[in-house]
């Protein structure tokens, strides 16, 4: 049996590296990291997103590479109301306003938005009981 500890990183395939970096750093507060000379990642908490440019992916890669096919949920320390204000100040529209969902550790409240490649981004807070 394999005992998984946590997710270290995942890969997003994107059309425009600069637009993606700008969105995730300005809208979501992630930090840009350049590694191995020219590879780009977005760091947050103890994890990161490695970015692959569509048509210039690194090997090995996903079988069916396509931009806009991810559906990601991030637990945030910021309240959803504050997150909504911040996103609004950047003219980023919500896909869906606050709604209850279920996260890995219990009930969450979430808002949804799209990144530049139309990936679905869910920002969530755990509901304190």
Catalytic (active-site) positions: 122
Question: Under DSSP, is residue 21 helix (H, G, I), strand (E, B) or coil?
Answer: helix
Q: Phi/psi of residue 25, each to 5°?
A: -80, -45
Task: Give the DSSP letter of residue 58.
Answer: P
Q: Output the CA–CA distances (angstroms, integers) from residue 79 to 45, 91, 124, in the order listed.
A: 17, 18, 9
Query: For tokens 């979501």, what's the residue?
Result: 28
How many of the other CB atoms lie within 10 Å of CB of 109? Answer: 16
CA 17, chain centre distance (Å): 14
How many of the other CB atoms lie within 10 Å of CB of 62? Answer: 11
């Amino acid at each position: 049996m394999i005992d998984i500890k946590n997710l270290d990183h995942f890969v997003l395939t994107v059309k425009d590296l600069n637009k993606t970096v700008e969105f995730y750093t300005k809208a979501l507060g992630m930090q840009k990291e350049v590694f191995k000379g020219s590879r780009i990642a977005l760091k947050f908490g103890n994890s990161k997103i490695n970015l692959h440019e569509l048509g210039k992916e690194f090997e090995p890669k996903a079988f069916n590479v396509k931009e806009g096919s991810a559906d990601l949920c991030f637990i945030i320390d910021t309240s959803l109301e504050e997150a909504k204000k911040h996103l609004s100040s950047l003219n980023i529209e919500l896909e869906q306003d606050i709604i209850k969902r279920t996260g890995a550790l219990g009930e969450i409240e979430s808002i949804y938005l799209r990144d530049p490649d139309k990936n679905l981004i869910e920002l969530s807070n755990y509901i304190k009981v």
